[in-house]
Amino acid sequence: MRLGVLDVGSNTVHLLVVDAHPGARPLPAHSHKADLRLAQLLDDSGAIGDDGVHQLVDVVRDALQAAEDKGVEDLLPFATSAVREATNADAVLTRVEEETGVRLQVLTGAEEARLTFLAVRRWFGWSAGRLLVLDIGGGSLEIAYGMDEEPDAAVSLPLGAGRLTAGWLPGDPPGPDAVRALRRHVRTEIARTVGEFSRLGAPDHVVATSKTFKQLARIAGAARSADGLYVQRELKRESLEAWVPRLSGMTAEQRGELPGVSEGRAGQLLAGALVAEGAMDLFGVESLEICPWALREGVILRRLDHMGSD
């Protein structure tokens, strides 16, 4: 059957269409993206303003049309931290449903971490052993660890690249004091959770997902996206540590000229790099592998599992 997953994230609204069957690998058939940057459309009270809601409705309507055009049989719509944390989330969800017919399921941070972990486990298989999975989104950082398909520990921290850029890094490029302050904040937040994971033992395999990690790996020398899904891509902490001071001295425009860095994400790359560096350092990770599957694939896989058990 043809499934569609509609991901209303902090940076983008992304429709992924796949041909999928229980017990088979989902095959991508179509991708439809719109840069919305919901996290930046919040007003001083933390609400998504009328203009932002109007834009969201328009983007969801466009995605719905794209899903229909591609013959999607079952649409799985969800929203993450930008909607979850908006002070008027219920009103936004109601308006989207009234105007488009789409009822967005709001995932908790822990659900995001668990579904991303499921996708990574299915990608690498049981032979990967104990997995530590890191995912940097626009609004949050998800961390999960475990032996099975359900992680033994999963947390979500308010350390998304978009959120931190907006709240901590004024200026282009930001000043060194702002960068140092963000670095301290990131490491303090991550350090609070390290003990919860370290008591479970050292992971056999450390994996990262998300656009931020993919871009950091690419500028550090990993293969291009065009080289295919099955090329192994790694990010070494040593390389990342060398890049952080370089990124902090660049303007967003200069970062956008780096290999694999999109213009829309260039402004957030420094904050993402500080989170990635902090996580790798505090968890004692020298090198991690990039996984092409993440939250959207986890949502699809969970749906297929339920279909197979019906």
Only one residue has tokens 């290999």, namely 259
**C-beta neighbour count of 61 within 10 angstroms:** 15
Residue 152 CA to residue 27 CA, distance in Å, equals 29
**pLDDT at residue 298 is higher than 70:** yes
Report pLDDT digits (tens) over 3-13.
999 999 988 99
208, 33, 32, 47: which is closest to 137 by C-alpha? Answer: 208
Report pLDDT digits (tens) over 5-36.
999 998 899 999 999 988 889 999 999 999 98
- pLDDT at residue 105 in the model: 97
If you average pLDDT over residues 53-70, what whole number do you get?
97
**pLDDT at residue 310 is higher than 60:** no
Here the tokens at position 204 are: 């056999």
Residue 202 CA to residue 162 CA, distance in Å, equals 30
Which H helix or E strand runs over 260? none
Q: Do residues 280 and 227 touch, judged by C-beta distance below 8 A?
A: no
Question: What are the structural domains, with CATH classification, of the chain?
Answer: 2-106 (3.30.420.40), 109-295 (3.30.420.150)
Residue 178 CA to residue 201 CA, distance in Å, equals 35
Report pLDDT digits (tens) over 196-236.
999 999 999 999 999 999 999 999 999 898 898 889 999 99
Determine the Cα angle at 13 with ends 159 and 143, to 5°.
30
Positive/negative CA dihedral, 158, 10, 77, 294: negative
Quote the pTM value: 0.95
Report pLDDT digits (tens) over 108-161.
999 999 999 999 999 999 999 999 999 999 999 999 999 999 999 999 999 999
- pLDDT at residue 264 in the model: 86
Report pLDDT digits (tens) over 239-278.
999 999 999 999 999 999 999 998 889 999 999 999 999 9
Q: Do residues 275 and 189 touch, judged by C-beta distance below 8 A?
A: no
If you average pLDDT over residues 49-78, what whole number do you get?
96
- pLDDT at residue 308 in the model: 64
Residue 154 CB-half CA count within 13 A = 19
- pLDDT at residue 230 in the model: 87
Report pLDDT digits (tens) over 176-192.
999 999 999 999 999 99
- pLDDT at residue 229 in the model: 86
Residue 214 CA to residue 233 CA, distance in Å, equals 8
% residues pLDDT > 70 (the chain): 99
- pLDDT at residue 42 in the model: 82
